[in-house]
């Protein structure tokens, strides 16, 4: 007998009245310019990407002052991040902090080829670079840091991180995931891209999913030595994961300072609203340099909190690992952040 399948009406975003604050998207995107470019490029959707990918690769290379061979585009940065993990996993484990965006690196565990080795927890949830350095033994093929980190939102001191990357990369490849770099107050100072140019064994990952507001268009990239990229090509790095509409959106957004500044301003405003609401309700969050805040719920369970917030049409994240009383909320449109602010006292009173 044939399986019973329910036909679904495709929904490309959250329904009206839902505050979707659970995936660190920038709902102010795609920009006007990106939307126009998507429409134009889609008309050529019959053709595989080639020149369009080269055009984006060249723009990125120019911005970072590297040859285009240092730039590998992928379907979201996830495409390249999986390749980094699986490639490293052939020769050893991946070392990371206790809490980081480990979704792509978990693929080595799913494939049964390597493990993620985690550092002990730290009281402030920051990454202890000294312990990390000391933990790089022969079993480690790659060290992964996310800066600013997800889900904590914490930014590392760039001077300390740079010194760490230089030392650590003599022992293992260092992957720095800079998905949220453009959201920090000083993106140029915070990036580790110059180390790639200086010849250190460092890979930097970036994405169009965050500040550029193109999460659903799936474009990201890594910057790494050409031989590193070449070695990863067998693990899925390549243009076949890209599409004309996404590339067009990325090209149209990459130099759109007006859109980026406007997005950053809204995100900052959202953060201020959330911090104020937390304070008013006797809670606090970690200092964020991103479009999300990691909230200390005190004695409240983050999964219960998530379920109660959902009843108020506010979607947020639940428990990460064993951080049972920490809750991540993303900055969406300000009217949606306001829904979080309004729901907070109601939910807290129900749970107290």
Q: Under the rule (CB under 6 A), what is the footprint of ligand PLP?
A: 24, 76-78, 101, 146, 150, 177, 179, 207, 209, 215, 220
Are 70 and 229 in contact by the 8 Å Cβ rule? The answer is yes
Of residues 72 and 347, the one with the C-beta less far from ligand PLP: 72
Of residues 24 and 343, the one with the C-beta less far from ligand PLP: 24
What SS3 string covers 180-239?
Answer: CHHHCCCHHHHCCHHHHHCCCCEEEEEECCCCCCCHHHCCEEEECCHHHHHHHHHHCCCH
> In angstroms, rounded to a whole number, what is the distance separating the alpha carbons of residues 242 and 19?
29
The CB-of-103 to ligand PLP minimum distance in angstroms stands at 7
Of residues 283 and 318, the one with the C-beta less far from ligand PLP: 318
Are 292 and 25 in contact by the 8 Å Cβ rule? The answer is no
The CB-of-157 to ligand PLP minimum distance in angstroms stands at 18
The CB-of-203 to ligand PLP minimum distance in angstroms stands at 13
The CB-of-311 to ligand PLP minimum distance in angstroms stands at 25
Of residues 213 and 344, the one with the C-beta less far from ligand PLP: 213
Reported residue count of the chain is 352
The CB-of-282 to ligand PLP minimum distance in angstroms stands at 29
HSE, CB side, 13 Å, CA atoms: give it for residue 72. 29
Of residues 145 and 168, the one with the C-beta less far from ligand PLP: 145
The DSSP call for residue 65 is T
Closest residue to ligand PLP, based on beta-carbon distance: 76
**Token pair 């970036």 in the structure block, residue:** 206
Q: Which residues pair with 117 in a beta bridge?
A: 95
Q: Which residues pair with 143 in a beta bridge?
A: 95, 174
Of residues 184 and 207, the one with the C-beta less far from ligand PLP: 207
The CB-of-162 to ligand PLP minimum distance in angstroms stands at 19
């Amino acid at each position: 007998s044939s399986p019973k399948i329910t036909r679904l009406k495709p929904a490309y975003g959250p329904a009206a009245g839902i505050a979707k604050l659970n995936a660190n998207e920038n709902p102010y995107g795609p920009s006007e310019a990106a939307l126009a470019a998507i429409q134009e490029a889609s008309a050529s959707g019959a053709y595989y990407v080639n020149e369009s990918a080269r055009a984006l690769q060249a723009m990125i290379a120019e911005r970072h002052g590297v040859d285009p061979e240092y730039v590998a585009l992928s379907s979201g940065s996830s495409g390249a991040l999986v390749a980094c993990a699986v490639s490293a996993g052939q020769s050893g484990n991946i070392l990371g902090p206790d809490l980081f965006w480990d979704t792509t690196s978990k693929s080595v565990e799913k494939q049964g080829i390597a493990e993620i080795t985690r550092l002990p927890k730290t009281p402030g949830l920051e990454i202890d670079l000294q312990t990390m350095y000391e933990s790089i033994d022969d079993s480690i093929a790659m060290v992964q840091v996310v800066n600013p980190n997800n889900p904590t939102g914490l930014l590392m001191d760039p001077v300390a991180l740079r010194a760490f990357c230089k030392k650590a990369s003599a022992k293992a490849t260092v992957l720095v995931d800079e998905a949220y770099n453009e959201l920090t107050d000083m993106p140029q100072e915070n990036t580790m891209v110059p180390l790639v140019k200086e010849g250190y064994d460092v890979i930097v990952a970036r994405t169009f999913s965050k500040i550029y507001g193109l999460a659903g268009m799936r474009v990201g990239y890594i910057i790494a030595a050409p031989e590193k990229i070449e070695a990863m090509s067998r693990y899925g790095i390549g243009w076949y994961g890209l599409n004309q509409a996404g590339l067009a959106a990325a090209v149209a957004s990459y130099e759109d300072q007006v859109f980026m500044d406007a997005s950053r301003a809204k995100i900052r405003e959202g953060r201020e609203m959330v911090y104020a609401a937390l304070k008013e309700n006797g809670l606090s969050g970690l200092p964020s340099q991103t479009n999300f805040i990691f909230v200390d719920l005190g004695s409240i369970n983050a999964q219960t909190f998530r379920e109660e917030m959902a009843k108020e049409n506010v979607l947020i994240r639940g428990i990460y690992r064993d951080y049972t009383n920490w809750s991540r909320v993303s900055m969406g449109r300000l009217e949606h952040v306001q829904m979080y602010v309004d729901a907070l006292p109601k939910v807290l009173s129900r749970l107290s």
